[in-house]
């Protein structure tokens, strides 16, 4: 199919030449519009400003076409929100723009991007952004670190064309990425990318949950499995089934399709493959190198690729990570549904939808166990206090202090056997009510970070602190709602 590709390039070329002749005819000074005139992308001037169109997967913004470099304003909001990993399995995702992967950003070489990163006030954690398309320390991470309820602004000029990953780089970095904080930013060359009929955004990620694959209820992140690279879910676009059935991407026979494929990781490398198609062209690793006639392309963690192909026959084409157990057992399976007339010369067989989905990527066994209890009711006994307190802990505190209260070195202090906690009960209540900043020493280690104020009722705080004080070798105190109430107005 590479003849088609050459034809494509040829037609854009002749169109370009025609346009150039027209421009030359109009005025000689217009010649400076050609890239070659600039010594480096750095010298490309920006004309006017525009607000960037941001899209959630599988959609991508409109091509930049022949527009000139601009001051491009990107407004990106970070949202921590509960979503569904698969049927009956909930997960708290941390997102750029409300989706996993985060909003797709489309730029043109020479653009001066003015980036506004907003951390929603309801979020619990500070975040930042490292864009691989940025030339500068941390890819923007150091300039964009923000706590909930704040906005950070920084600017950069895009100098290199290609498809780049962006991600959060706040400690513990692996955990922020594992919770979904990644996405793609495209830098188009001066002349734009060749036109195609369909463009889609697909990004792989691996997830680590306390329970096994398919265990129901709200599943907290599991740090140990993440460190061991033992993924429970490997998925496209943040969840099992994001690209299957009614969510499948579509095309018509005869159309050209371009997929912007990214891999957020945090750990696994993707062997990206579309069953029943051959990639006519792959922009290897999202760069300038074009490889033709490719069956499977490797997408590294923190990397990307652009794949292009023409669909010649109708049917359902399955997108997979060809590390195949991930596709059929962990979720890395999507669908491209192609409609149109058969072409018996190319493929004679009967097309059957779903033929490649035997064990069913999304079908998990359903263990009887229910999810964690909620804390709506008032605890009547000590046992109930412990039970409700644990539920609150697993929903609110575990993300930072970890499931066994062990904390994370240099980032979140331990609550297990914490001398700081055990020394002063009122101080502990105050920390939950009002938050805490500034240096503290816990079990001989210094921490200097931010714990945001927790939006919990007196009942919830009394339960969660009772749970913490009566777990992991702490001093076994029982806290009542009225003890919490009496601290509300003390600051
Ligand atoms: Cu983050």
Per-residue model confidence (pLDDT) at position 344? 81
Residues annotated as catalytic are 127, 130, 132, 167-168, 176, 181, 273, 292, 296, 322
Could you tell me the distance, in angstroms and rounded to a whole number, from the CA of residue 434 to the centre of ligand 1?
A: 22
Could you tell me the distance, in angstroms and rounded to a whole number, from the CA of residue 81 to the centre of ligand 1?
A: 13
**105 band by pLDDT with thresholds 50, 70 and 90:** very high
Better pLDDT: 373 or 338: 338
pLDDT > 60? residue 282: yes
CA distance 293 to 282: 8
Per-residue model confidence (pLDDT) at position 367? 38
Per-residue model confidence (pLDDT) at position 450? 76
DSSP result, 174-186: HHHHHTT-EEEEE
The overall average pLDDT reported for the chain is 88
What are 6's two structure tokens?
């050459």
Question: Mean pLDDT, to the nearest integer, of 119-136?
Answer: 95
Could you tell me the distance, in angstroms and rounded to a whole number, from the CA of residue 251 to the centre of ligand 1?
A: 35
Q: What is the pLDDT of residues 27-39, one digit of tens each?
A: 444 444 444 567 7
Per-residue model confidence (pLDDT) at position 448? 82
Helices 458-469 and 382-392: angle between axes, nearest 10 degrees: 100
Could you tell me the distance, in angstroms and rounded to a whole number, from the CA of residue 259 to the centre of ligand 1?
A: 26
DSSP result, 132-163: TT--SGGGGHHHH-B-TTEEEEEEEE--S-EE
Share of the chain above pLDDT 90, in %: 73
Is the preceding peptide bond at 172 cis, omega within 30 degrees of 0?
Answer: yes
Question: Mean pLDDT, to the nearest integer, of 70-99?
Answer: 96
Question: Mean pLDDT, to the nearest integer, of 111-133?
Answer: 96
Burial (CB count within 10 angstroms: exposed 0-12, middle 13-18, buried 19+), residue 476:
exposed
Question: Mean pLDDT, to the nearest integer, of 43-70?
Answer: 95
Q: What is the pLDDT of residues 135-147, one digit of tens each?
A: 998 999 989 999 9
**452 band by pLDDT with thresholds 50, 70 and 90:** confident
Question: Mean pLDDT, to the nearest integer, of 388-413?
Answer: 85
CA distance 104 to 453: 32
pLDDT > 50? residue 125: yes
Per-residue model confidence (pLDDT) at position 121? 94
Could you tell me the distance, in angstroms and rounded to a whole number, from the CA of residue 301 to the centre of ligand 1?
A: 17
pLDDT > 60? residue 12: no
Could you tell me the distance, in angstroms and rounded to a whole number, from the CA of residue 69 to the centre of ligand 1?
A: 30
Could you tell me the distance, in angstroms and rounded to a whole number, from the CA of residue 167 to the centre of ligand 1?
A: 8
Could you tell me the distance, in angstroms and rounded to a whole number, from the CA of residue 103 to the centre of ligand 1?
A: 15
CA distance 165 to 185: 6
pLDDT > 70? residue 474: yes
Per-residue model confidence (pLDDT) at position 67? 94
Q: Is the pTM of this model over 0.75?
A: no
CA distance 292 to 198: 19
pLDDT > 80? residue 363: no
What are 60's two structure tokens?
């991508």
| C-beta of residue 189 within 8 angstroms of C-beta of residue 63 | no
Could you tell me the distance, in angstroms and rounded to a whole number, from the CA of residue 93 to the centre of ligand 1?
A: 10
Share of the chain above pLDDT 70, in %: 86
pLDDT > 90? residue 463: yes
CA distance 236 to 262: 9
Selection from 452, 343, 457 nearest residue 399 by Cα: 452
**376 band by pLDDT with thresholds 50, 70 and 90:** low
Question: Mean pLDDT, to the nearest integer, of 97-109?
Answer: 98
Interior/surface letters 284-312, b for 16+ CB within 10 angstroms, e for the rest: bbbbeebeeebeebebebbbbbbbbbbbb
Q: What is the pLDDT of residues 303-322, one digit of tens each?
A: 999 999 999 999 999 999 99
CA distance 457 to 434: 13
Could you tell me the distance, in angstroms and rounded to a whole number, from the CA of residue 141 to the centre of ligand 1?
A: 10
Could you tell me the distance, in angstroms and rounded to a whole number, from the CA of residue 419 to the centre of ligand 1?
A: 29
Sign of CA dihedral 426, 455, 124, 118: negative
Per-residue model confidence (pLDDT) at position 409? 76
**491 band by pLDDT with thresholds 50, 70 and 90:** low
Better pLDDT: 27 or 428: 428
Could you tell me the distance, in angstroms and rounded to a whole number, from the CA of residue 94 to the centre of ligand 1?
A: 7
Protein residues with C-beta less than 5 angstroms from the ion ligand 1: 127, 168, 170, 176, 181
Question: Mean pLDDT, to the nearest integer, of 374-396?
Answer: 84
pLDDT > 90? residue 163: yes
Per-residue model confidence (pLDDT) at position 37? 62
Q: What is the pLDDT of residues 390-399, one digit of tens each?
A: 989 987 888 7
Could you tell me the distance, in angstroms and rounded to a whole number, from the CA of residue 252 to the centre of ligand 1?
A: 39
């Amino acid at each position: 199919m590479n003849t088609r590709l050459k034809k494509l390039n040829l037609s854009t070329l002749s169109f370009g030449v025609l346009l150039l002749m027209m421009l030359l005819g109009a005025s000689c000074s217009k010649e400076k519009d050609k890239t070659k005139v600039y010594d480096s992308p750095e010298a490309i001037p920006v004309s006017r400003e525009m607000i960037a169109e941001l899209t959630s997967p599988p959609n991508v913004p409109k091509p930049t076409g022949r527009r000139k470099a601009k001051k491009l304003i990107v407004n990106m909001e970070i949202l921590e929100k509960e979503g569904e990993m698969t049927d009956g399995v909930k997960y708290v995702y941390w997102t750029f723009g409300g989706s996993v992967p985060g909003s797709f950003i489309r730029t043109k070489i020479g653009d001066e991007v003015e980036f506004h990163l907003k951390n929603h006030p309801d979020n619990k954690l500070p975040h930042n952004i490292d864009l691989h398309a940025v030339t500068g320390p941390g890819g923007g991470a150091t300039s964009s670190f923000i706590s909930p309820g704040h906005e950070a602004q920084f600017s950069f000029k895009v100098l290199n064309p290609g498809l780049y990953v962006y991600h959060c780089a706040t400690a513990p970095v692996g955990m922020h990425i594992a919770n979904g904080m990644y996405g793609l930013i495209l830098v188009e060359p001066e002349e734009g990318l060749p036109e195609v009929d369909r463009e889609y955004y697909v990004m792989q990620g691996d997830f680590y949950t306390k329970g096994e694959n398919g265990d129901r209820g709200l599943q907290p992140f599991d740090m140990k499995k993440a460190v061991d690279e033992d993924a429970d879910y490997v998925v496209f676009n943040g969840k099992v089934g994001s690209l299957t059935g009614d969510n499948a991407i579509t095309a018509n026979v005869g159309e050209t399709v371009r997929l912007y494929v990214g891999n957020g990781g945090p750990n696994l490398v993707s062997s990206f493959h579309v069953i029943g198609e051959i990639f006519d062209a792959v922009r290897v690793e999202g760069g300038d190198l074009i490889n033709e006639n490719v069956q499977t392309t490797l997408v590294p963690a923190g990397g990307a690729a652009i794949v292009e192909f023409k669909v010649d026959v109708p049917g359902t084409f399955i997108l997979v990570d060809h590390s195949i157990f991930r596709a059929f057992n962990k979720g890395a399976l999507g669908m491209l549904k192609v409609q149109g007339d058969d072409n018996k010369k190319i493929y004679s067989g009967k097309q059957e939808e779903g033929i490649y989905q035997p064990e069913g990527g999304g079908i998990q066994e359903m263990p009887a166990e229910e999810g964690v209890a909620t804390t709506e009711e008032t605890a009547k006994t000590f046992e109930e206090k412990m039970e409700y307190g644990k539920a609150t802990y697993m929903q609110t505190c575990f993300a930072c202090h970890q499931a066994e209260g062990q904390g994370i070195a240099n980032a979140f202090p331990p609550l297990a056997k914490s001398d700081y906690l055990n020394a002063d009960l009122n101080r502990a209540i105050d920390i939950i009510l009002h938050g805490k900043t500034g240096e503290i020493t816990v079990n001989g280690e210094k921490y200097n970070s931010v714990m945001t104020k927790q939006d919990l009722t007196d009942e919830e705080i009394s339960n969660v602190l009772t749970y913490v004080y009566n777990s992991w070798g702490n001093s076994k105190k029982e806290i009542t709602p009225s003890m919490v109430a009496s601290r509300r107005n003390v600051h």
